Amino acid sequence: MSATHRVTKPLDERERAVWSVLENVMDPEIPVVSVVDLGIVRYAHWTSDRRLHVGLTPTYSGCPATDVIRRTVREALDAGGYADAVLEEVLSPPWTSEWLSEAGRRRLEAFGIAPPDKAVFNPRQLFRAPVVRCPRCRSDNTERVSEFGSTPCKAHYRCSSCLEPFDYFKCI
Distance, in Å, from the CA atom of 140 to the CA atom of 90, rounded to the nearest integer, reads 36
Among 111, 119, 110, CA closest to 39: 119
Beta carbons within 8 Å of 85's beta carbon, 6+ residues apart: 51, 52, 53, 54, 74, 77
Phi-psi region of 57 (alpha: psi -120 to 50; beta: other; left: phi over 0): beta
Full-model pTM: 0.83
Domain ranges of the chain: 13-98, 112-169
Question: Which tens digit of pLDDT belongs to each residue from 104-127?
Answer: 999 999 999 999 876 655 666 556
Using 50, 70 and 90 to split pLDDT, how confident is the model at 1? very low
Question: Which tens digit of pLDDT belongs to each residue from 34-88?
Answer: 999 999 999 999 998 889 999 999 988 788 899 999 999 999 999 999 999 999 9
Mean pLDDT of the region 1-13: 55
Q: Between 75 and 171, where is the model more confident?
A: 75
Give the 3-state secondary structure of residue 165. Answer: strand
How far is the CA of 65 from the CAs of 58, 119, 137, in angstroms?
9, 23, 30
Beta-strand pair 154-159/142-146: antiparallel
Q: Are 57 and 42 in contact (CB under 8 A)?
A: yes
Beta carbons within 8 Å of 152's beta carbon, 6+ residues apart: 60, 62, 63, 64
Distance, in Å, from the CA atom of 170 to the CA atom of 150, rounded to the nearest integer, reads 12
Q: Which fold has domain 13-98?
A: GMP Synthetase; Chain A, domain 3 (3.30.300)
Q: What is the CA radius of gyration of the chain?
A: 17
Using 50, 70 and 90 to split pLDDT, how confident is the model at 4? very low
